[in-house]
Amino acid sequence: MTKLKILSETDTSLRILFSGVNRAFVNSLRRTMISDVPKFAIDQMRVELGVFKNEETGELFESNYALSDEQLAHRFSMLPIPTFHDDFYFQDECPDCKDMVVDQRGCPSCQIIYTISSSGEEGGRSVVASEMNVIGDRRLEIPEAYGSIPLTKLFEGQVLHAYFYAIMGRGRDHAKYSPVSGVTFYARQNGKINVKTRSKMLFDLNLNITAKDFNKDGTLNDIDKVDLLRNDLNHVGSGTDLEAQFNDAITLEDVEGEFIFQFETDGSMTARTCLEQACKELAGRFEALSNDFAEAL
């Protein structure tokens, strides 16, 4: 039976111990998070060109900036757009838009519109993500934690007036739709003392792990302490002067059927939401595969 235990959790990261699984299962979860969990991202940008007048000061500003349109569009497209899966649709599944041609799709149920109106100053001023304003639900504002992301720099006489259109997509279509980074897993390991006399060489270095951390049978099972032991072994392992003398006096052994899985989100959703969506996507895929097999047989 598959079991999971949360080892650590923040709003944007999770570290989980999976038990009763194999490497293929955990890797399928990793790939699903990267490629299949839906996420909002800016897909189109419309820049207002021309000369604009500041009504208060009378100053004139030109719609101009140092970056090319392509560079600017890329920067905006990678911003973490808040994603609420139960409240929005893919455009090709939206009840109000799915029957329209692609260029005419876009309603409050499948599209989010942002606007920005920023002007420069002498010496230059950085335009940051917090200057974007959402048209509609305030929940969809760029999260405060990411408001300082720099987008471009405007100098005196320059202005950026633009609209941005975000839609739901998947990472397999474009990297901007992938909600995660640093998705990785590795087999859980236990430490084992093979030769007590030579193992003292490691403990004498006064690093992180001591002989007292090991059980009476010479094993170390605590996950966090095993991570520290893994780092300590770098001081007596391959490429060190002590490698030949230490000669695997302490080793790490994989625990069958157990893996440690960890990842971070880009801030568009919580780590727990991302995990739930990945499991939902996997379950739906396996169900469809089972139905196909049933029909074929």
Q: What is the pLDDT of residues 98-116, one digit of tens each?
A: 999 988 999 999 999 999 9
Q: What is the pLDDT of residue 295?
A: 77
User: Based on the domain organization, do 244 and 169 belong to the same domain?
Assistant: no
Q: Could you tell me if residue 293 is inside a domain?
A: no
pLDDT at 62 over 70: yes
**Tokens in use for 258?**
């157990």
The pLDDT of residue 55: 65
Residues 120 and 170 in one domain: yes
Q: Is 90 exceeded by the pLDDT of residue 23?
A: yes
Asked whether residue 47 falls in the same domain as residue 123, the answer is yes
Q: Domain range for residue 114? A: 39-175
**Do residue 201 and residue 251 come from a single domain?**
yes
Q: Which amino acid is at 279?
A: C
Give the model's pLDDT for residue 18.
96
- How high is the pLDDT of residue 47? 87
Report pLDDT for 22.
93
Q: Answer yes or no: is 208 within a domain.
A: yes
Residue 286 has pLDDT above 80, yes or no: no
The pLDDT confidence band at residue 10, using thresholds 50, 70 and 90, is very high
pLDDT mean over 185-213: 95
Residues 169 and 190 occupy one common structural domain: no
Verify that 47 and 149 share a domain, yes or no.
yes
Would residue 291 count as lying in a domain?
A: no
55 and 149 in a single domain? The answer is yes
Residue 272 lies in a domain: no
Q: Are both 78 and 190 inside the same structural domain? A: no
Residue 143 sits in the same domain as residue 45 = yes
Q: Residue 249 sits in a domain of what CATH number?
A: 3.30.1360.10
Per-residue confidence at 284, pLDDT binned at 50, 70, 90?
Answer: confident
Give the pLDDT band (50/70/90) at residue 183.
very high
Do 163 and 210 lie in one domain? The reply is: no
pLDDT tens digits, one per residue of 127-179: 999 999 999 889 999 999 999 999 999 988 888 889 999 999 999 999 999 99
Beta bridge partners of 150: 128
Whether residue 61 sits in one domain with residue 10: no
Picking from 175, 193, 224, the residue at the C-terminal end of a domain is 175
CATH classification of the domain holding 126: 2.170.120.12
Classify residue 289: in a domain, yes or no. no
> Whole-number mean pLDDT of the chain?
91
Give me the number of domains the chain comprises: 2
Specify the pTM. Answer: 0.86
Return the pLDDT at 288.
74
Question: Does residue 14 belong to any structural domain of this protein?
Answer: yes
Kindly report, residue by residue over 218-275, the tens digit of the pLDDT: 999 999 999 999 999 999 988 899 999 999 999 999 999 999 999 999 999 999 999 9
